[in-house]
Amino acid sequence: MHSIVIETPLGKAIISGDDMGVCEITVTKETDIEQSAAIPSCLQEAADQLSAYFEGKRTTFDLELNPKGTVFQKKVWKMLLEIPYGKTWSYMDMAKKMGDPKTIRAVATANGKNPLWIVVPCHRVIGSDGSLTGYAGGLWRKKWLLDHENPVKQQSLF
C-alpha cells in the first residue's frame, strides 16, 4: 500500500492504494504524515483530480477505485456515485432506490464507512428533513463541500 498527501482547503488529504487502484482517501489535521517514495500513477492521478476539484475545475472523477468493504457497503458506495454534482439525496432516497426503505439505517451506516472521501460523494447525503446529518469528516466539512459544489444559490424575488 502506498500513500500520497495533498493539501486541501479542508486539511491534508491522504490518498492510499496500490497498482489495483485507490483504496482510501481521508482527511486529517495531522501535520507530520509520511508519503511513499514511489507513488503509483493511479494515486498521482487521484491527487491531480482532487486538486482540480478544489480549484473548481472538476465536477466528476475518473479513477480506478479499489475500496475495501462488504458487498452491501460497495453497493451503497456505488449508488453514491450516481448523485450528481451540486445535488443531494436523503438516506431514505437511497434506501428506496436500493429497493427497501427499511434498509435506511444500514444505508446510513455503510455511507458512514465510505473510505473514499469526496470521490465517492457521501457528503451529498442529507437527512429527509434537509438537515446536514452524520459526516465522518465533521459537519463543517460537509457544509463546506456542499457550498463548494453549489456556489450559486437561487436568489429570493422578495
Quick one: cell of 138? 465533521
CA dist., res. 14 & res. 63, Å (int)? 16
Quick one: cell of 129? 428533513
Q: What phi and psi values does residue 75 have, to the nearest 5 degrees?
A: -65, -45
Which stretches of the chain are DSSP H helices?
Answer: 41-54, 71-80, 91-97, 104-112, 139-149
33-61 core/surface letters (b: 16 or more CB in 10 A; e: else): eeeeeebbebbebbbebbeebbeeeeeeb
Catalytic-residue membership of 122: yes
Candidates 122, 125, 126, 145; catalytic one: 122
Q: What phi and psi values does residue 144 have, to the nearest 5 degrees?
A: -60, -45
**Which residues carry out catalysis?**
122
